[in-house]
Homo-oligomer: A and B are copies of this chain.
Amino acid sequence: MKKSFGGKTLIYPTPVWVVGTYDAQGKANVATVAWGGICCSKPPCVGISLRAATATFHNIHARKAFTVCVPSEKYLKEADYFGVVSGKDVDKFAASKLTAVRSQLVDAPYVGEFPMVLECRLLKATEIGLHTQFIGEILDVKAEESVLNANGLPDIGKIKPIIFCPEIRHYYGTGSRLSDAFVVDRL
């Protein structure tokens, strides 16, 4: 028997990603988002959604670029903080003592200490309602050498990304490996 919860943004898992941007004056900012996901394979694109009340919303419009950084569990406190306070009020890089690294590919910074980052060029901004979705073309993915697996690819078990549970407002970790994908062609 299923219970109804009404029209809510309630689904699992949602990611905990940190969006890096510069404002019109060149100040680096970071904001944590859970409203996001990959949205196209060719060109490779990721979509993230922001309210017009945020500094990041205006920064992306100004710079036409953003990064999507994947914090590991180790940076849970910083990731939570980046979603609670506004870049309008606080210099979040200074407050967190994390490093704003200038992307060489797009006009946006990323968090140097985080294990994985996507550098994105703004492709499209769509107003949906309270949130505007920014679709960015992924020009490069970078990952720390310390989080690569034996094949040289990013290992989720080493990156330890965080999961957000909407409504419940909890963070969860990544679990263990279940199986390979795309192998079951009959049941």
Contact = CB atoms under 8 A, between A and B. Distances in A.
Given A11-B68, A13-B15, A70-B12, A84 B39 contact: no
Interface residues on A, range: 35 or more
A162 B178 contact: yes
Contact of A40 (B96, B128, B162): B128
B163 A171 contact: no
A128 B12 contact: no
Contacts of A177: 170-173
B128 A123 contact: yes
A2 B144 contact: yes
A41 interface: yes
Interface string A37-73: 1111111111101010000000000000000101001
Interface of A: 1-15, 17, 34-47, 49, 51, 68, 70, 73, 76-78, 80-81, 83-85, 95-97, 116-118, 123-124, 126, 128-131, 133, 135, 137-145, 148-149, 152-157, 159, 161-187
